[in-house]
Structure 1
Amino acid sequence: MSITIDLPKEGFVESVAYWMLDRLQNRKNIKEGDVLYKANVSFALSFMDGDLDEKLEGQSVSLGLRVIDAEGRQGIAYTNMLTKDVLTQVIEWATYNCQNNDPNPFAGLNHECNRAFQDQDIFDPLITEGPGFERGEKICSSISDEVRCIDKRVTSIREAFYGEGYEQTLYLSSAGFYGWQRETVARCDVTLIMSDDNKVEIGGFGEERRYANDLDYLSIARHAVQRTGLTLGGNPLKSGRYIVVLDSVAAASIVSLLEDSLLADSVHKGKSWLAGKMGHQVVSCNVNLVDDATVKRGIGSYAFDGEGVPAQKTVLLESGVLTNFLYNLEHARMDGVPSTGNCVRGTGSLPEVGASNLFITPGTRNLRSLLSGISFGIYVVDLLGLHTFDSTTGDLSLGVKGACIRKGMIEEPVSGMTIAGNIYDILSRVVEVGSDLKFYGSVGSPSLVIEDVASAGN
């Protein structure tokens, strides 16, 4: 069984969108408008301890209309039914919502429509043609067998998950923009329980890719077992200040914490610890942070954003200096700068700001080389409590799971420790950046070596 795609024809959707924008011309005080259409199809299945546990398949269609009046008031309405009667009501609702909103002199469409967009290679035709549940079942079964063979300490495979999805997007505006985007994603995850001498650890690993064949699911299984075994039976070290090495997964989770602070709307709302620091050294000179929607096959890549602005690459931190924030059109106009092409929106929401592919650029030394120069420290593979991070102040307190580093070698497991302080201070102590850049979803990082980190343990 493969994915069943029964979505409205693209030509029909286009005609509907043009019809709605045409109807706006007869509306008093409505200056301009745009239509955003999204449709997706997906399936997923999971195994528990080698047996099929759940199958899911679904699809959705949604179309939203935004209208803007001469004073910048915006109104939006959306529907999942593309009949004439319903679409007429959507126009009425959007107009009504517009009349009841506050003026915004910075609201407006993109009037520099550029149709020469780069192909970011984010569409895998195999996903729309299959392979569907049959292949998914084989993958989950193979993962379960692989996990069992790698390490006999695995007592339960709580989930072997595989899923695929396809999405198509149309953006059409009265300013003359017209464009389709088609994208796919495949994901695989493993969660397992491992025990030894009455010590129990739960762990896992997962990845997602634009192309199904780019997922090495047996490698994912091996990583899940290796990472869980590394921390099994961990104990805390004495409280003190340590050299800490974050592997690429843990480092990427730190990068994910930075996103909200780098969004222009967060800065304007007073919710970013980076407010007022443009041009200042905010982290170590070894850290370069980039947002790049043009990464080939990137999970966060696109041809154009939610306002029809072309995808682009934006350097946010250069040698530790804050050089840019991320912008949509509204906040770019507020600050008198160009949009960075980072508008995100749903069919029922007004434009906001969001990152695309956010990552720390790699260094030149691999992980083994980084570890070889450390006589004693902590190798961290998992950070706990990320949800407690305060993007307004930068303060954090995170649990640590990993292993002890002795004379360049990874040895006994470590857990039950915390690192606390400010993300600015922690990233200011980065002394080396590895060459092993990896993406986990749309966030990526190489390994990071951080010196003199206050760590609470015994």
Structure 2
Amino acid sequence: MEKKKLAEILFEKGKRLGFEDMEVFIKSTTNFDLKIFKKEIDKYSISNQEGLSFRGIYNGKMGYSYTEKVDETSIDILVEEAINNAKVIDSDDEEIIYEGSEEYKEVCTYNKDLENISKEEKIQFALKLEEEALNLDDRVETVNHCSFGETSEYSLIMNTKGLELENKSNMALAYVSVKVKDGDDIKTAGKHIISNDFSKFDAKKLAKEAVNEAISLLSAESIKSGEYQTILRNDVSASILEAFTSIFSAESVQKGLSLLKDKLNEKVSSSLITIIDDPFMEEGISSTGFDGEGVATKYKKLIDKGVLKTFLHSLKTAKKDGVESTGNGFKGYKSSVVISPTNMYIEKGKSSFEDMLKGVKEGILIIDVQGLHSGLNTVSGDFSLSAQGYLIENGEITRPINQITIAGNYFEVLNDVDEVSNDLDFILPSGGYIGSPSLKIKRLSVAGK
């Protein structure tokens, strides 16, 4: 049955049984996953997933239900489960079905050419990626991970207030990780590319980036404990920002779980820091014209030259604060609305990475951190992370370093930024597409030998 027709029948059934406003959210996803190991296909899978969530106002409460069987046979049980759910809800928070925004910006997130690339061509790319990595240097012992994946998504939001929104998107991801060995010294490094433009997938370039980084870390040693002028490479800075994205959630703020509470329009970081959430970014993996509640998304500066300007809002948090939703309420068909960024990044500066490096007389460059989920506290901002990178002396990288721990407070780090590079880059998406340029920090505590 056509999806919009199914939603209309569901609304008719719900109205007869006492629902007021109702909403249907349908999402379908197709995934193609490919892994190569030792010149052979180690994994090849194509999966399809589809689900429908139904919610509606019943006796003043919002009831929810969902199904993975998206056809007419699911209608009765969806309505009955939503009624039962509404009866047991004890929250006093008022939830609404949104009537729609005045205007929606058209955002292109689907590239038909990607799906026209044959599976054979994608397999050949992955095989070449492994081959290139293995042949670049005799010290490459193995390619421990080589994969190519592709995802296509379709979503539909319809409600009884006349809202009807559709979106289609796709993207591909290639990742390679290598292990290099020199004597007893073993190091690993991995690199990725993500885009819905297959012409940008260069196997030789991607393999070279991973191999060169792994080799550059051979013979790494620790350094003396102390405070060092520190450069957080773009991907490291983005990873730490991703771990702290919840501090910008209005829900976290309202629950007292963010130190940014009561700091709107106050200086919270260095004036060199501007943090943007841009749902319209070209080639942004999380670009979208509307969120999971049907609210039109907005370009916004969360921090503008060091000053906190807004939080990320859903309809519920916006109503509590007496403001408009920022269009950051997202959901899956199995889950309720959560606040999430779209394409969030620290705005790039004017300095090149090379010039930033030259400005460090004695310091370190961090290129990888471990323990982001266990070694930091998003409420206090404190972090302690295992790290590796390079020693910088007189503006030049002199040797690799490892077996160190960097520690500090993220709010203090943002205030201690004294230079921002122009090398903005994004990490693998997880609850938003997060990016950052490299940041030079005045001082950071390092525990070494």
| Aligned-residue RMSD, C-alpha | 1.6
For 1:79 and 1:217, locate their aligned partners in 2 and report how far apart those are by CA, in whole Å.
40
Cα deviations across residues 310-363 of structure 1 (Å, max 9, x unaligned)?
Answer: 121121111122111100101000000110000110112222211111100000
Match of 1:77 among 37, 62, 65: 65
Kindly report which structure 2 residues correspond to 1:152-163, keeping only aligned pairs within 5 A, or say none: 152-163=138-149
Structure 1, unmatched stretches of 5+, are 1-7
For 1:25, give the aligned amino acid.
K
Contact 2:358 2:396 in 1 (8 A): yes
Match of 1:264 among 244, 250, 257: 250
TM-score, reference length from structure 2: 0.95
Cα deviations across residues 42-63 of structure 1 (Å, max 9, x unaligned)?
Answer: 1111112332211111101101
Matched, 1:242 2:231: no
2:53 alignment partner in structure 1: 64
Match of 1:108 among 96, 119, 123: 96
Contact 1:123 1:211 in 2 (8 A): no
Matched, 1:33 2:14: no
For 1:396, give the aligned amino acid.
F
Contact 1:404 1:414 in 2 (8 A): yes
- Partner of 2:35: helix, strand, or coil? strand
For 2:92 and 2:336, locate their aligned partners in 1 and report how far apart those are by CA, in whole Å.
13
How far the C-alpha of 1:75 sits from its partner, in A, is 1.3
For 1:426, give the aligned amino acid.
V
2:218 alignment partner in structure 1: 232
For 1:77 and 1:179, locate their aligned partners in 2 and report how far apart those are by CA, in whole Å.
20
Cα deviations across residues 342-389 of structure 1 (Å, max 9, x unaligned)?
Answer: 011011222221111110000011101111111111111101111122
Contact 1:63 1:347 in 2 (8 A): yes
How far the C-alpha of 1:301 sits from its partner, in A, is 0.8
- Partner of 2:265: helix, strand, or coil? coil
TM-score, reference length from structure 1: 0.93
2:178 alignment partner in structure 1: 192
Contact 2:272 2:417 in 1 (8 A): yes
For 1:31, give the aligned amino acid.
E
For 1:209 and 1:456, locate their aligned partners in 2 and report how far apart those are by CA, in whole Å.
38
- Partner of 1:281: helix, strand, or coil? coil
For 1:105 and 1:239, locate their aligned partners in 2 and report how far apart those are by CA, in whole Å.
50
How far the C-alpha of 1:70 sits from its partner, in A, is 5.3
Contact 1:249 1:381 in 2 (8 A): yes
- Partner of 1:271: helix, strand, or coil? coil
For 1:229 and 1:380, locate their aligned partners in 2 and report how far apart those are by CA, in whole Å.
16
How far the C-alpha of 1:106 sits from its partner, in A, is 3.1
Query: Kindly tell me: are residues 31 and 105 of structure 1, through their superposed partners in 2, closer, same or farther at Cα, counting changes over 3 Å?
Result: farther
- Partner of 1:123: helix, strand, or coil? coil
1:145 alignment partner in structure 2: 131
For 1:444, give the aligned amino acid.
G
For 1:93, give the aligned amino acid.
E
Query: Kindly tell me: are residues 15 and 324 of structure 1, through their superposed partners in 2, closer, same or farther at Cα, counting changes over 3 Å?
Result: same
For 2:320, give the aligned amino acid.
M
For 2:328 and 2:136, locate their aligned partners in 1 and report how far apart those are by CA, in whole Å.
43
Q: How many residues align?
A: 444
Which stretch shifts more, 297-306 or 213-222? Answer: 213-222
Matched, 1:402 2:377: no
Structure 2, unmatched stretches of 5+, are none
For 1:426 and 1:111, locate their aligned partners in 2 and report how far apart those are by CA, in whole Å.
42
Matched, 1:50 2:39: yes
For 1:245 and 1:189, locate their aligned partners in 2 and report how far apart those are by CA, in whole Å.
25
Matched, 1:450 2:441: yes
- Partner of 1:363: helix, strand, or coil? coil
For 2:393, give the aligned amino acid.
R
Matched, 1:437 2:424: yes
1:419 alignment partner in structure 2: 406
- Partner of 1:57: helix, strand, or coil? strand
Cα deviations across residues 276-309 of structure 1 (Å, max 9, x unaligned)?
Answer: 3222222211111111111112011112100111
Matched, 1:177 2:167: no
Cα deviations across residues 165-196 of structure 1 (Å, max 9, x unaligned)?
Answer: 11100000112110110000100001111111
How far the C-alpha of 1:31 sits from its partner, in A, is 2.3
Query: Kindly tell me: are residues 219 and 241 of structure 1, through their superposed partners in 2, closer, same or farther at Cα, counting changes over 3 Å?
Result: same
How far the C-alpha of 1:414 sits from its partner, in A, is 0.5
2:10 alignment partner in structure 1: 20
Matched, 1:301 2:291: no
For 1:457, give the aligned amino acid.
G
Contact 2:132 2:203 in 1 (8 A): no
Query: Kindly tell me: are residues 398 and 25 of structure 1, through their superposed partners in 2, closer, same or farther at Cα, counting changes over 3 Å?
Result: same
Match of 2:197 among 211, 225, 230: 211
For 2:377 and 2:291, locate their aligned partners in 1 and report how far apart those are by CA, in whole Å.
27
1:310 alignment partner in structure 2: 296
Query: Kindly tell me: are residues 373 and 83 of structure 1, through their superposed partners in 2, closer, same or farther at Cα, counting changes over 3 Å?
Result: closer
Contact 1:185 1:212 in 2 (8 A): no
Contact 2:6 2:71 in 1 (8 A): no
Contact 2:50 2:70 in 1 (8 A): no
- Partner of 2:373: helix, strand, or coil? helix
For 1:430, give the aligned amino acid.
V
For 1:122 and 1:425, locate their aligned partners in 2 and report how far apart those are by CA, in whole Å.
37
For 1:112 and 1:104, locate their aligned partners in 2 and report how far apart those are by CA, in whole Å.
24
Contact 1:186 1:215 in 2 (8 A): no
Matched, 1:93 2:78: no
For 1:215 and 1:259, locate their aligned partners in 2 and report how far apart those are by CA, in whole Å.
29
Contact 1:284 1:320 in 2 (8 A): yes
- Partner of 1:279: helix, strand, or coil? coil
